[in-house]
Amino acid sequence: MRLIQLGLTAFALIVATPSVPAEIAPDASLRNPIGQLVELAKNNMMNAIDAANKRIGYCLDLGKATIIKPDAIAKLKLTTIELKIAIFYSYLKAEEACTSDAVNMATTKITMFKTIEFEAYGRNDPEPFTDNNYNFTAAEICCGSAKIFLNAQLNYMGLNADKRAALDAILELKKPFNFFELSEYFDPTPVSAKP
């Protein structure tokens, strides 16, 4: 708990001050202009977003290449709806586990940038940072698909506890996998033929 408090205190101190306070850095040469802090925060954010994009790409590629043999799932005797719920939630959960460190770092860096940028320029000035490749909010990075994930999680939690336990024990479902390949095995009907 103390580590969390220390981290939050340090984060608040770094973000809430335009430069290093005199108590910490009595030498005025160690206090940097706000514009330099904004530029550093912007570069840190851009690097974190690039790293998150690379990690997301890696996880998607890993998933496409990983074909799960359906035997372990088929023996659970799930209904078609239960299978769809289980496969979709497992897919989302595995992707989240694979990408979460990089996405969390990007979220933190975006928040730091937006906070220091607001302190430097306020709400009334035009936003000085307009590169659309990096102009995301932390919510867009971390939570863009939150409703989809939470809906899938609620559906999964609606499955029988024994079935969830059996599904949770399947190690292959804990890593990114080829969602479409596995889904088509259990429901081979072409999309165009479905009502």
The pLDDT of residue 193 is above 70:
no
**3-class secondary structure for the chain?**
CHHHHHHHHHHHHHHHCCCCCCCCCCCHHHCCCHHHHHHHHHHHHHHHHHHHHHHHHHHHHHHHHCCCCCHHHHCCCCCHHHHHHHHHHHHHHHHHHHHHHHHHHHHHHHHHHHHHHHHHHCCCCCCCCCCCCCCCCHHHHHHCCHHHHHHHHHHHHCCCHHHHHHHHCCHHHHCCCCHHHHHHHHCCCCHHHCC
For residues 27-53, average pLDDT = 83
For residues 82-89, average pLDDT = 94
For residues 15-42, average pLDDT = 65
pLDDT of residue 136: 60
pTM confidence score: 0.70
Residues 6+ apart with CB under 8 A from 1: none
Percent of the chain exceeding pLDDT 90 equals: 41
Q: Return the exposure string of 94-125: e unless at least 16 CB atoms fall within 10 Å of the residue's CB, then b.
A: bbeebbeebbebbbbbbbbbbbbbeebbeeee
Domain ranges of the chain: 1-31, 32-187
Which range has the worst mean pLDDT, 43-47, 111-115, 120-124, 158-162?
Answer: 120-124
The pLDDT of residue 4 is above 60:
no
The pLDDT of residue 25 is above 70:
no
pLDDT of residue 137: 59
Summarize pLDDT for 108-128 with one digit per residue, the tens: 998 898 888 888 877 544 454
For residues 36 and 14, which has the higher predicted lDDT (pLDDT)? 36
pLDDT of residue 7: 43
The pLDDT of residue 107 is above 60:
yes
Type of residue numbered 195: P
pLDDT of residue 28: 55
For residues 191 and 31, which has the higher predicted lDDT (pLDDT)? 31
pLDDT of residue 152: 93
The pLDDT of residue 5 is above 80:
no
